[in-house]
Structures are given as C-alpha cells and as structure tokens.
Structure 1
C-alpha cells in the first residue's frame, strides 16, 4: 500500500468467519514485528489483523534515512489514513476496529480516518509532556534524551540512530525532533497550534477502551487524563491495571504485547473487541488467504 508517494509494508492475518478487521497502530520506534505474536493470537480468536510500519521505520524504511523527510504528523495524517483505507477496501463487509499502542493511540484520536472505525483500543497512550513523567530520575533521563541527545544525534547523523544507543528503532530526523518538541510543551501536542489536536479529538465519537498500567512511568494517570480529557464525544471506558494483581510481574509502557501478558491481559481486550464487533453488525464469512 502507499501513503502518497511513500510505500508502506504491512502484514495481514485473515480468518474464515472473522468478526471484524483490527488495525494495529504501533508505538514510536517499534516495528510491526514486535506485535506479531499478539496479532496471531488475536487472529486465532476470530479477527482479521493488519500490522504495518510507519514511513521511515521497519520494513517501510528507505535505503537511507539521512535526508528522508517525515514527521509524526505524516504518520498520523498519511500513514494511518492509508492503512485504514486499504483495510476497508480489502475487507469491505466487516467492521473496522483499531488497537493503538502509545502514539498509535494518539493516531486513533487524531486521524480523520477514525471516522471509518467502529471502535478502538488505546494501550499505554498518554499526552507525553516530560513534566508528567513519574519519578525524578526517569523524568531527567527523558529530558536529556529528547532535548539534548536527540537533537545532537540528529544533527550528526541526519536521523535518530536509536539502534546504536539501544533506544529502539532508528527514526527519521523530522519524527524525532517533532516528538521532542511536543514533550517540552506543558500540554504536549495540545499546545501545538499547527496540529489543532483538541479539535481533532473532539470529533471522535466511537467507543474507546483506554488501558493503562500502574507501573508505567510515562502513561501514568495524570498523563492519560491529559490525553483522554479531550475525547469529549467518544464513549470512553478507562481501565487501569495493577500488573501484580493480574498475575503479571511487570507491564510498564511496552510490556502489554509481550507473551507474558497473554493469559492474564490479552483476553479482556479481545472480549471487548468482540462486543464492539457484534454491536457493529455481527460476523460475515470472509475468504481465507494472503493479503
């Protein structure tokens, strides 16, 4: 599929009698491969699942990131729309649902393509102002990374070399610098007039499940509140999970999609999606095959 002139590479799990099609929007500096186990598990529970990489990342990365022009706004306005449009055309008889991790949850709230969805799940999504990060040491680490180290490395390399320093995937320069700029604002991207985030989120009117975790220093209740408070017309259900009470040693910001959460946490997300799929019109038989 393509987002304007930029090709995006996706993976698709299809099942006979699927209840719905679920699009999985990834987190920043995380590729679709990270979600493969969860996608396969979700497909085994009766959903078609589409995963993909944003432009400039994973399998959607060009030969060189130096000089590659991309921003987080491009991800939200271009890539999310392209994948949603493609999934709708590929499975026209089925409800479209989405699961967004971190910035992937932002995409559900901000993208105009959300009007095509019947429901969505936000996992560890929050307004990422650095002032809301829990714990002084982590807050100082994040500020140094995003305000000092990232601009320096982007200037030196022409992109953010995340792999070299153990911070996930490499990122296009424009993505990294826009993200860093938003984290320095008191209300994250809600203080960026060019994005107009509050107006965008106010137009969302679908059911949303918002999952947070007690041990997540970034998507903590204050930061999640800052994001979710702007979803004024959505039917929001909040769940804040204590990992240890659920029988999981840790979840944090990244752990929900790891296998250790399969038995304890994944079923509640799948159950909620099934309810939304039934309310959106029930199941229809679809052919089993590759995308």
Structure 2
C-alpha cells in the first residue's frame, strides 16, 4: 500500500455554540469540485488539537464529504486549560460533542450524517452523544483507559506516574495540567485530569462510575459502528477496545485491527491513524465504509 496524495480542500473557520456561553473553534472542509453528498464530524481525542485530523479531513472532503474538525473547550483554539479548569472529561463528551454534531446537522439538514471519534471522541459516540440521525460512526483507538491493562510494564509505569501522581498533583496546584510537557498533547483542565485519573483506576473505566449511567447509554446506540484498532497501540489493545465495543449491545458493530507490517509502515500507534504518513494508507478503507453507510456510490 502507498501513501495518499491529498489535494487541498476549501475550508471555513467556524464557531460552534455550546449550551453555555462558550463556543468551540472549528474548521469545515468541503469537497473541492462539487457539493457535499454527506457530512462527517470528527470528534477528537483527549487534549489532541484538531490539526492532527486535518489531513484525514481533507482526504474525506475529496471523497465528497463536508467534514468538521474542532477543539474541545480548554484545548487548542477553544480557550485555555487554565481558564476552563472546571471542565471535566464528561463535559467534553456530553456537551461539546453534541454541540458540534448539532451545528453540522443544522448546516446540512438534508444530507446523511456520519461521525468519526478518536479515543475520547469515540467514547462520546458510544455513550450516545452526537448520535442523532447518524447513519453510522467509526471509533479509532477508543478503549477503556485502564492503566493496569497496559501490557508493556515500562509504559504502564509511565502512564501510572502521569495519571496517578504528576497529573493530579499539577492539576490541584496549577488548576490545569501542562500536557505538552508531560507528552499528553495539549494542556488539560484540572477537572478533566482528575476525572480521567479516577476512571483509569477501575477495571471498567467509566462503566464503573454510577453517575455516568454508561451501560444504559451505550444500549441506546442502534446504528452501524466500525471499531478500528492498531495492534502496535500501547494503550488501546484489542481487549480494552472490546470493553467499549461489547457494551454496544444494540448496534451493528464491526471491528478491524490493522498492523504496521500489514500496511507497509514502520509504526502507527495511538495517533498515527490520522497522520498523513503512517495512517493515510488506511484512509480509503475509512472513506469506503463511511460512503457505504451514507449511500454514496463511486467513492
């Protein structure tokens, strides 16, 4: 397989209102030579800026989709972590994801609606957020983030140090977590880190948090779901992806796991699926699955 050359797609900076006075900063990309035939919202991972998804979004736009990328509040262009210190992970999932989906649905009410969720973004979709009228959604590396389940001992120790010691400590002292310095992507609001830390210590992740009502919510998902895993991902192992996928008891779930050797690249990992280098060879598979759900022919 070879890398995909992606021509630039027309883009538009957008502002998306949340149920508070806040807003999300996003980018809408459109097909370069025709009107969109369907729409895709890309819901990001924890503290991962939308620029990671730009190549993937541009590629989907060339396949006929209008594609929205955005930053969660307190990350990237949607405000600072320090100013949003009280935002929890559930606020991103329960408020930001539905807000982005609703904005896109209002913009294109007559087009098929689809979504792609990376890690936390996939959790939100699995919890039936942003799922109104969806023809289907993909999750990529969306797993139960239980630190005890990380296979590699050195990586497990590193993540436990961050999620149990350094991250919570910095959150309480500073009001935010300097994620860039800790290798977590963008800086993160304090409340998000503290909630992540709590969930990561229980075997069922947020399914063990009674205030999340997670099993009831995943049971409400009734659309087609494609769960993508990468077999060199140190965190999102097949078993941990399965913790989420198995709770989608009323959805039509398909799972695909890709290996670097199988697609001819050195590594993919937790982030590589969306990078132009290692992940781009997999984008035609994603476009084909989304096109089939949307009823687009000839993609």
User: For the superposition of Structure 1 and Structure 2, which TM-score range results when normalised by the shorter chain?
Assistant: over 0.9
Which residue of structure 1 lines up, in the alignment, with residue 210 of structure 2?
Answer: 193
- For the pair 1:68 / 2:85, whether they are aligned, the reply is yes
Q: Which structure's relative contact order is higher, taking Cα pairs within 8 Å and 6+ residues apart?
A: 1
**Equivalent-residue separation in structure 2 for 1:172 and 1:68 (angstroms):** 4
**How much does 1:269 deviate?**
0.5
Which residue of structure 2 lines up, in the alignment, with residue 94 of structure 1?
Answer: 111
Q: How does 1:33-182 map to 2 (within 5 A)?
A: 33-62=51-80, 65-66=82-83, 68-182=85-199
Which residue of structure 1 lines up, in the alignment, with residue 233 of structure 2?
Answer: 216
State the aligned residue count.
279
**How much does 1:111 deviate?**
3.5
- For the pair 1:231 / 2:248, whether they are aligned, the reply is yes
Secondary structure at the aligned position of 1:190 is classed as helix
**How much does 1:66 deviate?**
4.9
* TM-score (normalised: structure 2): 0.90
Contact 2:148 2:156 in 1 (8 A): yes
Residue by residue over 1:30-54, the C-alpha shift from the partner in whole angstroms, topping out at 9 and shown as x without a partner, is: 0111111111111011110000111
Which residue of structure 1 lines up, in the alignment, with residue 43 of structure 2?
Answer: 25
**Equivalent-residue separation in structure 1 for 2:115 and 2:128 (angstroms):** 12
**How much does 1:166 deviate?**
3.5
Structure 1 outlier segments of 4+, above 6 Å: none
**How much does 1:181 deviate?**
0.8
The RMSD of aligned alpha carbons is 1.4
Moved more, 2-11 or 201-210: 2-11
Secondary structure at the aligned position of 2:105 is classed as helix
**Equivalent-residue separation in structure 1 for 2:276 and 2:84 (angstroms):** 37
What residue ranges of structure 2 are gaps of 5+ in the alignment?
1-15
Which residue of structure 1 lines up, in the alignment, with residue 25 of structure 2?
Answer: 9
Secondary structure at the aligned position of 2:281 is classed as coil
